[in-house]
Structure 1
């Protein structure tokens, strides 16, 4: 985790900025005279604003941050009003889950607003909030969002290396064929069962089971991804509870030490989120333990109950993805890999145009998009390469596919660098090599595209047997060979399919 790549130290900078943003929000709340529960709520609002708002441009991030109260404040009021009406409260919570997941159809903004709405309902259960506390909660959250926004957009703006990758296009789909609709039903079913079972273990802390089920569905699209995420959440919680017993319980709510460790946990959440869900959950669990210590209710039994409720929520999520409108791992893998391959095709097309003298042609954006798509494909393939996967043949093919996709990314980046200054004279062999790469991609996506129509002036151009090292031609040659090798693990030959679950 600590040796994971961090280009431009983006994760490190985001993590430090998050500590400053959340810490400043809590400090301002405390200096404004808000009670501790309101300050904690403000800190959570700041953390969510910094963590969940992932739009591709700074302008879009500002708009989404400004919209967070519109999504969260009505839910907060509704949840506090239903505090003593158990049945109505439970139905409203499940409805919030469904709407929050369904909102993901509108991309990164929909996801951020859905998470903020869910967590607004969740925090009322965490604090046992009642309507009389609403003015203080609203004021603390508003102040925290303003402080977090000032830190993010004024004090320390950080440009993203590349915009987040949107899910596979859903435009032609309607109803239950739309992945976000199916997942909304899955999450609602999982949270409903987790709510009932969780209440059987605790009338006061049942919401932990619901929160676990909810967060397992964030950023997953297939049952394989959900199973792996559930396993990692339980693993991180187990380790976090152990750390909480060793650290948070002995502290017994000591304010200065607890605040310092909470800041360290905030850093850990942001620094590990992109590389290890288990490490992130460890940080979340320790932070929750410290907050309960500050509220004066922490003991070993409470941490044991958190572990039980986490297991309940994870189990319900895993059952839901198998029993409620399941989306197979193979379907998800195929969608992301095909998008990555189409990106290679676009990069080759732009490279050919650049070599032919088009001054507007630029393959660099496609190279950046390919890297992001490969990262998402790696997440989709994670269930197949997980140590607990018993299907060794599929695991081996998935590892081969990941290695070859990684090679594709490297060769495309090298090709973009090598053709940054195209040769003064037109080289038909280079353009022909670009067309061979496009043909190799289309051979892998034959069910979606037609075979390429070769330009007449390139007919008869043969691939060189030994292209000179370090030249654009060698990168094109390597890319063509890598794409051809992908046929077997992707099931484009008589071999087995990559994934069948």
Structure 2
């Protein structure tokens, strides 16, 4: 009950809402879709009425305005503008070919297959190829869906030009991106994210034991924190090293608090009254971080003092003292780091702004057949679509293209068989639930034209607003929209919606079958390739933060190495996402490898930019550097041999680390904070242990081409 009350607290709900869309990017997507569709429908319907054209012209233009305002995803704004303008060409050609070919069913199906192949093949040219291919595909599909006639071709072309001009104005004038303001929003959202993590930890501190469910919650909080920090990094200009360092320090401090709370629950040494004081300290820290409340900061220190006073009553006083000290130091460091983070960043001068950094795509994984990934996928999509057309035509000679479009989108933004399975399942689930919602909603609003129009645009908004959270949500809202649209057009029937479910299942099934049998891309290949990139980034970070660290080192280089490491880990989690759900039991060894690599990154990041290397005497510093060199070499060896038959042999750095620990003298043995030599050596030891665990757990890839992984 207390947990439910906490989750429904207005402050908590507001912070959840703000951090779910920190730069308002999802809101902009929703607004663009509504404005693009709405303005296109308004302008083109008036023109169509003056020219005596049927509603088909308005429908096609509306869809083009909606899609054209969204799908240009080039890294630079200038490239996005060019891509949006270029959409006129493939859209015009596709709608003409689609209208002409649809007069002869067999020719129309063949032309649709060729369009699908080309639309997928051009993805090899990056975001622009993806956008132009998608708009060409949907223009062809709309010509089929709305039953365009030959006499309407000139009007359709005109509608496309008008709609894409409107989409351009919506995207780059009415609802444009503002990277400078996005930075301010991300910064405030990052502070709220740290506060949210503290809020979640208050519920964990008093738990009697560390269950698997609690471990997953702690990992989710650490991932949430890292994602928020990376989002700010993506917008920060390289000329702001001071701010980057503050963000990194705050993120590390929050991560240490998560580890400290985990340790408190895991050891169980502290008494219940001490746990209650820890919870109150977390609540006070939450208020201090979120609101900058100095009184809350003082209250936090009072609760920490009570925690320290309760240590003699602990079940294990010595262990309790260590847990209390670790928590006290970490939460104090976090509040101090949050106080150093500015609420506002001065807007940079033109040309020096915080512009989004281009995301460097990982190199494509070569296949044994030598095909480019886009070519391979184009063949897969075309064959799957043809299969879906054939089976879909048996079910319905008029609506077979629903199966074809499902087969097409099942392969969109996917790389592996696991991705395709999840995409197909999301399509089927969203369609099924959308049909149910559509049946109810269409029955309620049928005959109320104005209400139906409003609901159409509400569905469009939520479809694009939620697409980043889940593809299934987008499909749900668009299926609901389709139900209301049929009601508006006077063509609604439950049988038609049930047919959509059937055709969707046919298309998804065709996609999965072809992805399994034709040029299958096993998920394990991509997971191991991405894990190798993570291990290479670990090697680079160890060399920057430990081996080559000196007072003259550029902090920006160290932060770059850390952020590269974070980005690679995020990519690994994305690639392995199908394994984090119901498929994990089919590849337990690979799942353990992903988990171990993730833990390795967490331990490496706790080295806190190598500060401990600079604050010890020369003998210890040399031992640490020698150990760092050995660990970097081990990481490099693992990266080279992760997917090979023979298990790698690593040279442990444990002896060097133990020798360095014994060599610490005086103040070096008691120093607190991230620069503490004992803590620094502790994390190096954890890195060493995890590398050895990875070496023992690494196994050859599955040879079964039909396997999910």
Q: Which residue does 1:29 correspond to in 2?
A: 44
Q: Which residue does 2:474 correspond to in 1?
A: 280
Within 5 Å, give how 1:94-173 maps onto structure 2. Answer: 94-158=113-177, 159=179, 161=231, 162=234, 168-170=362-364
Aligned match of 1:485 in 681, 685, 690?
690
1:203–1:497: structure 2 CA closer, same or farther, 3 Å change rule? Answer: same
- Contact 2:623–2:657 (CA<8 Å) still a contact in 1? no
Gaps of 5+ in 1: 452-458
Cα displacement (A) at 1:16 = 3.3
After TM superposition, the score normalised by the length of structure 2 is 0.60
Cα displacement (A) at 1:399 = 6.5
| 3-state SS of paired residue (1:218) | coil
Q: Which residue does 1:379 correspond to in 2?
A: 574
1:337–1:476: structure 2 CA closer, same or farther, 3 Å change rule? Answer: farther
Deviations 1:69-89 (A, max 9, x none): 222211211111111112221
- Contact 1:100–1:113 (CA<8 Å) still a contact in 2? yes
1:128–1:222: structure 2 CA closer, same or farther, 3 Å change rule? Answer: same
Cα displacement (A) at 1:472 = 8.9
Cα displacement (A) at 1:42 = 2.4
Do structure 1's residue 15 and structure 2's residue 30 form an aligned pair?
yes
Within 5 Å, give how 1:18-417 maps onto structure 2. Answer: 18-33=33-48, 35-158=54-177, 159=179, 161=231, 162=234, 168-170=362-364, 176-252=370-446, 254-348=448-542, 351=545, 355=550, 357-359=552-554, 361-365=556-560, 367-368=562-563, 370-387=565-582, 390-391=585-586, 393-394=588-589, 398=591, 401-402=594-595, 405=598, 408=601, 412=605, 415=608
Deviations 1:384-426 (A, max 9, x none): 22225553735xx52772585277369649946x98xx99x99
- Contact 2:365–2:526 (CA<8 Å) still a contact in 1? no
Q: Distance in 2 between matches of 1:105 and 1:132?
A: 36
Within 5 Å, give how 1:465-476 maps onto structure 2. Answer: 468-471=672-675
| 3-state SS of paired residue (2:576) | helix
Please say which of residues 384-393 and 63-72 is displaced more in the overlay. 384-393
Cα displacement (A) at 1:104 = 1.5
Q: Which residue does 1:454 correspond to in 2?
A: none
Please say which of residues 306-315 and 461-470 is displaced more in the overlay. 461-470
1:387–1:200: structure 2 CA closer, same or farther, 3 Å change rule? Answer: same
Q: Which residue does 2:326 correspond to in 1?
A: none
Q: Distance in 2 between matches of 1:407 and 1:494?
A: 14
Cα displacement (A) at 1:349 = 5.1
Please say which of residues 188-197 and 383-392 is displaced more in the overlay. 383-392
Equivalenced residues, count: 484
- Contact 2:635–2:691 (CA<8 Å) still a contact in 1? no
Q: Which residue does 2:336 correspond to in 1?
A: none
1:137–1:415: structure 2 CA closer, same or farther, 3 Å change rule? Answer: farther
What is the CA RMSD across the aligned residues, in angstroms? 3.8
Larger relative contact order (Cα-Cα within 8 Å, sequence gap ≥ 6): 1
Please say which of residues 354-363 and 311-320 is displaced more in the overlay. 354-363
Please say which of residues 134-143 and 98-107 is displaced more in the overlay. 134-143
- Contact 2:402–2:503 (CA<8 Å) still a contact in 1? yes
| 3-state SS of paired residue (2:87) | helix
Q: Distance in 2 between matches of 1:39 and 1:264?
A: 19
Cα displacement (A) at 1:328 = 0.7
Q: Distance in 2 between matches of 1:324 and 1:300?
A: 36
Q: Distance in 1 between matches of 2:385 and 2:160?
A: 26
- Contact 2:569–2:601 (CA<8 Å) still a contact in 1? no
Q: Distance in 1 between matches of 2:596 and 2:101?
A: 52
| 3-state SS of paired residue (2:126) | helix
Q: Distance in 2 between matches of 1:253 and 1:364?
A: 60
Q: Distance in 2 between matches of 1:65 and 1:38?
A: 20
Q: Distance in 1 between matches of 2:458 and 2:681?
A: 46
